[in-house]
Structure 1
Amino acid sequence: MSESPSPSLHEASPEASTSPLDNIVIVLSGTQHPGNIGSAARAMMTMGLMQLRLVNPHRFPHEQATAMASGAQSVLDSAQLFESLEAAVADCAFVVGSSSRRRYLGDEPLSPAETASVLLETAGAAESAAPVALVFGCERTGLTAEELDRCHRLTTIPSNPVYPSLNLAAAVQLLCWELRRAAIAPPKISLKEDPGYMNGRFGPPTAEQMEQFYEHLERVLLGTGFLDPRNPRLLTRRLRQLFNRARPDTNELNILRGILKSVERPKKRTPRVKPGPAAGPEAGG
């Protein structure tokens, strides 16, 4: 009697049903070695993450990627290719970049556990709308300064400071494990995070919507003279970090855009006059 074929990893995975993990994408930017793409795909699939996006890989598709995927071919087959990180995360509500590079602007990097928590929280709130992204740079140089600016927050794996070198696929595996570990914990759901509450008005905006806001903000600041066009870089980066830290929801972002529009095209409004006290009999004498 012949045995029936065993199910594939994807078929056997509990993530076949709806899960916040389904709304998380892994982005690899400028990957140099195709084997690392395959190994990353394998690391993803073992933790239940299936969405891979590739930004300008040096060689893909490639037989080394297929070989190193070791059964996770479905992740490679469905991988999406992009020409820039901006395009790859344009539809994402929250973006975390993985980097070992020390930065002197912005917040302290998130720990892997904190990264998993915030990504799953946002993915759960946006599961009917926008995905969230975890981004990794190329093996040799990591994410560029411009790519880091596209991330809402950064995360760092606390490796040995004497020898911090970590293989790309190993970094993907560690952070994907943190995501899975957090995903199987009891969920924390608030009313505001419910995608059905108030027709999603309080959901997180996409990265594209945030970029439109930053462009609008810069245009207004240039118009008022607050921003010096000869040296705008430091101010605009600090403003990005401020709003990335604040994480305004869609409703709040619309309010901010409305404020900017009112600066561009001020409206004259008649002040509301408060009624005075009712007239009474005069005091006689």
Structure 2
Amino acid sequence: MIDLEEIRIVLVAPSHPGNIGAAARAMKTMGLSRLYLVSPESYPHAEATARASGADDVLARALVCQDLDEALRGVTLVLGTSARARSLEWPTIPPRQAAERINAESGGEAAIVFGRERSGLTNSELERCHYRVHIPANPEYSSLNLAAAVQLLCYELALAAEAGPVDDPTPAISEEDPREAYAEQIEVERFYVHLEAALAEIEFLDRENPRQLMRRLKRLFNRTRLLRTEVNLLRGILTAAQRQAKLARGG
């Protein structure tokens, strides 16, 4: 069942403090309270407090993070909002399905990530997300204010919480064994770093001309929802491959 206290709203590099306050207000009206700010341009700020209109407690609890990895520490499910299509598209779902996806997942914390007001999320930031959340809008005028987007997603989350629990179509193998829980996003990111290094060492990846290999591999693994034991297993395989590559080179 969805627990609104386990959902983080993450704003990446917000440039307008008023949007931070308005987002806090949007969250509180729907029962959410965990706000994370990644490198905000101006915060704390009087305009944020004014636009919060009584959601001062949400602002007081807000955590300011240096980067997205810090904001996602401890999270097992990440959804990134983006209106912009990519050359290599990410698994995309609408807001209601995003809320249902969070509602279906048992255990672990979830985060919904919102990008910059002008440019949204970078490809690298979106690659940290299991799903891209796209808000359908008028194709001739699809611009949506940051706080309005937060309000819409929080509304869908509140509806899902009220609807009650649903079955998880991709449950972890054993909820009682923490080793069989979904891997935290920071563990997955460390695996990706290890994977890229190992592929370069065995000369499968050309770092001078990587094309979209790592993006495709990240999309594949994000889609499978790796468990903690699976991450450890894969990294063990990579370590063994690196060892053999070193021996083959006479190292």
Q: SS at 2:112's partner residue?
A: strand
1:147 and 2:125 matched: yes
Matches within 5 A, 1:155-166: 155-166=133-144
Report the CA distance shift for 1:24/1:195 in structure 2 as closer, same or farther (over 3 A).
farther
* Structure 1 counterpart of 2:239, from 240, 251, 261: 261
Q: TM-score normalised to the size of structure 1?
A: 0.79
Residue 107 of structure 2 aligns with an amino acid whose one-letter code is A
Tell me how far 1:54 sits from its aligned partner: 0.4
Tell me how far 1:87 sits from its aligned partner: 2.1
RMSD of aligned alpha carbons? 2.1
Tell me how far 1:69 sits from its aligned partner: 0.8
Matches within 5 A, 1:219-234: 219-234=197-212
Report the CA distance shift for 1:115/1:220 in structure 2 as closer, same or farther (over 3 A).
same
Separation in 2 of the partners of 1:209 and 1:247? 12
Q: Does the aligned pair in 2 maintain the 1:192–1:202 contact within 8 Å? A: no
Q: Which residue of 2 aligns with 1:125?
A: 107
The count of corresponding residues between Structure 1 and Structure 2 is 244
Q: Does the aligned pair in 2 maintain the 1:193–1:202 contact within 8 Å? A: no
Q: Which residue of 2 aligns with 1:241?
A: 219
Moved more, 134-143 or 247-256: 247-256
Separation in 2 of the partners of 1:107 and 1:154? 6
Separation in 2 of the partners of 1:84 and 1:216? 20
Tell me how far 1:211 sits from its aligned partner: 0.9
Q: TM-score normalised to the size of structure 2?
A: 0.90
Moved more, 244-253 or 170-179: 244-253
Moved more, 50-59 or 148-157: 148-157
Matches within 5 A, 1:77-116: 77-116=60-99
Identity of aligned residues (%): 47
Larger Rg: 1
Q: SS at 1:166's partner residue?
A: coil
Separation in 1 of the partners of 2:139 and 2:171? 38
Separation in 2 of the partners of 1:190 and 1:162? 37
Residue 57 of structure 2 aligns with an amino acid whose one-letter code is S
Q: SS at 2:113's partner residue?
A: strand
* Structure 2 counterpart of 1:205, from 178, 183, 195: 183
Tell me how far 1:194 sits from its aligned partner: 7.6
Moved more, 208-217 or 141-150: 141-150
Tell me how far 1:193 sits from its aligned partner: 4.6
Report the CA distance shift for 1:101/1:21 in structure 2 as closer, same or farther (over 3 A).
same
Which portions of structure 1, spanning 4 or more consecutive aligned residues, are displaced by more than 3 angstroms?
189-198
Q: Does the aligned pair in 1 maintain the 2:37–2:65 contact within 8 Å? A: yes
5+ residue gaps, structure 1, are 1-17, 267-285
Q: Does the aligned pair in 2 maintain the 1:21–1:120 contact within 8 Å? A: no
